[in-house]
Structure 1
Amino acid sequence: MKMDAPVCEEITVHEEIINHVNKEMLTMEEYHDLGTLFKMFSDPTRLRILSLLFQSEMCVCDIVALLDMTQSAVSHQLSVLRANRLIKYRRVGKNIYYSLDDEHIQYIFNAGVEHIQEH
C-alpha cells in the first residue's frame, strides 16, 4: 500500500524563505555534476576500489589481487573513477599506481558509512 507524503491543507508561499533559499541554491550544472559524483558511489565495485585506495596508493595488479576480479573489470572501473576525477594515477616504469584525487572522496565515503551504520 502506497502512502503519500503529507501536504499543506492551505497553500501559503513564504516569500522570505523562498528568497533566502533561492540565493543559496546551486546552478543546474552544479546539481548535474553533484548527481554524477554520487553515481560514482552507487557501484559496489567502485566503492571497494575507493576503500582500498584510502589505505594506500596501489598498482592495478594489487587491486586485482585484493578484489579477486579480472584485470579488465578492474581497469574499466578505474577508468570510470579517473574520468570523474575521483582518482588519479602515476606511471613508474611499466606499472601504473592509483591514488585518490583528493581527501574529499574519503569524507563523502565516511559520511555515507556513518549514515548507514546509524540505522
Structure 2
Amino acid sequence: MSRARAAAPLAMALALAGCASSAAAPPPELLTARAAVVQAQESPLSPLAIAELRQAEEALAVAEREQRERPRSATARDAAYVARRRAQCSLLSSLVRANQSALVRARLTAARRPQTRRNAP
C-alpha cells in the first residue's frame, strides 16, 4: 500500500506534464504554415516575389498571435491556413516571374538569330 501512495504523486506529475506539453504544442495547421513560409523565404527565387513573401510573413504573424490569444480556435486555424496559402502564392509568383523572364530572354535570342530559308520541295 505504501508503494501505491508513493507512486501516486509521480503518476499525477506525469499526467500533468503530459497535459501541459499537449496544450503548449502548436496545432498542425500552424506548423504547416510556418514550414510553408520558411520554404518561401529560403527559395532562391524569393527576391522575385518580395511583396507576396511579406504578405505571407504578416499572415503568419497574425496566425501566431491568434494562436497565443485563442489557442486551437477556428480563427487561429483559419489564420494559419491563410498564411500557408500566401506562402504558396509567394512561391508560385516567383516561379511565374522567373519563367516570364526566361521566355523574354529566349524570344530575344531567337530574334537575333539570322533567319534561314527553307527550300520547299
Greater C-alpha Rg: 2
| Higher relative contact order structure (alpha carbons within 8 Å, sequence separation ≥ 6) | 2
TM-score, with structure 1 as normaliser: 0.29
TM-score by length of 2: 0.29
Higher helix share: 2
